[in-house]
Amino acid sequence: MSVRATKTINPLHFTDLDPMRFEDLCLHLVSKIYKWKELNHFGRKGQDGGVDIHGIESLIDEEKVWFIQCKRYSNLTKAHLEEVVKKATKIAIPDKLLLIAACNVSRNQYDHFKLCSQNSGIKESEIWTASTLQTKLYNYKDLLFIYFGLRIENKEMSGASKIRYSLKMEKRMRKDLINHKFFKENFQKVLHDPMLQFISNRVIIHSVDDMSYPTVDPNINTWYREHIYNFYHNGIELWLGATLGDIAIMDNKGYWEPTNYFDERKNNGKYRTIEVKTIGQIPFYNIVDYKLFDEYYSEPHIYCKFDINGEPFEKIYFRLHGNLDGSGDYELDESMKTKFPKKL
């Protein structure tokens, strides 16, 4: 089901929470996400020694010691990040150091935190920024109500709500995902190849219900990495399976059928083979939130509702590759799409 548009579409103000209340929220959230053998909250007792939450994660063949520090700051500096690492490692060297922050950080700050952690002997470190924290909370509506008094009802958005939500999301994404300097200087190139306008050629698509990232669950596909292709009137477009490529076969009347390179019909003179791009369209109202990078991928992460037949796409269609003369891709005529005989 879709989510009714409420004030939760705006950023949550974590800094409005009392510092101890913010720690409680962090404790509640990590307790739900991971499987713990032990989980201790030292922050409320004072003199935490740089570790607000201490946890021992129970894995299949090992246990992992976590130190978790919660910072309800409106801004974090490199000095703050260095202090977090310094205080945490005075006690011991954890397997993982997690910093949960009420604000967002730059990529430079994130890399600095990782480097400080590595230099102190910590193998794995991570920062949950405000946007990360908000995205994770969408999976736990009880916490949104407990800490912010917000109810998200599983009802369809009204038409007006979808439009308002989509316009806000489009404005944010066009601001953050486009390389505006390149776009202005290379407008004609972008017209022929819209992929050039983005800050990254690939994005990570996550289901809001995914609990497997960064590992891959072989039984269910709840996150994947694709090429971002363009914006369209209602959302963003992805080039699906770009690294493998797709083809279609077409007869002399212009009728066509998408297929693959293993199809023997492509070698028959009755058809010609054309290279196509499979394009998936995700509407803005299906996008819950996004962030620009994490410690695994230096690419935008987009969190979506997979509520259209188990996927986020409202439409999947095909474009013919542009020509070498610089002309752009063009959409294949959907009315000419057909199914040819399997055997000739």
In this predicted structure, the answer to whether residue 135 has a pLDDT above a threshold of 50 is: yes
| 120 and 210 inside one domain | no
| 238 and 207 inside one domain | yes
| 320 and 222 inside one domain | yes
By the 8 A CB rule, do 226 and 238 touch?
yes
User: What is the arrangement of strands in the sheet containing 36-41, beginning at the earlier edge strand?
Assistant: 36-41, 53-58, 63-71, 96-101, 124-128
Is 157 part of any domain? no
Is 160 part of any domain? no
Q: Which of 157, 169, 163, 130 is nearest to 26 (CA)?
A: 130
| 323 and 190 inside one domain | yes
> φ, ψ for residue 54 (rounded to 5)?
-115, 130
Is 133 part of any domain? yes
By the 8 A CB rule, do 234 and 281 touch?
yes
| 177 and 67 inside one domain | no
| 213 and 120 inside one domain | no
Domains of the chain: total: 2
Tokens 């040819």 belong to residue: 340
Is 201 part of any domain? yes
| 242 and 124 inside one domain | no
Angle between helices 130-137 and 19-33 (to 10 degrees): 60
> What is the rounded distance in angstroms from the CA atom of residue 44 to the CA atom of residue 136?
23
DSSP 74: S
| 325 and 183 inside one domain | yes
Side chain identity at residue 342, one-letter code: K
> φ, ψ for residue 5 (rounded to 5)?
-70, 125
pLDDT band at 83, cuts 50/70/90?
very high
pLDDT band at 9, cuts 50/70/90?
very low
Is 163 part of any domain? no
- Selected residue with higher pLDDT from 324 and 232: 232
Is 270 part of any domain? yes
Q: Which domain range does residue 300 map to?
A: 168-336
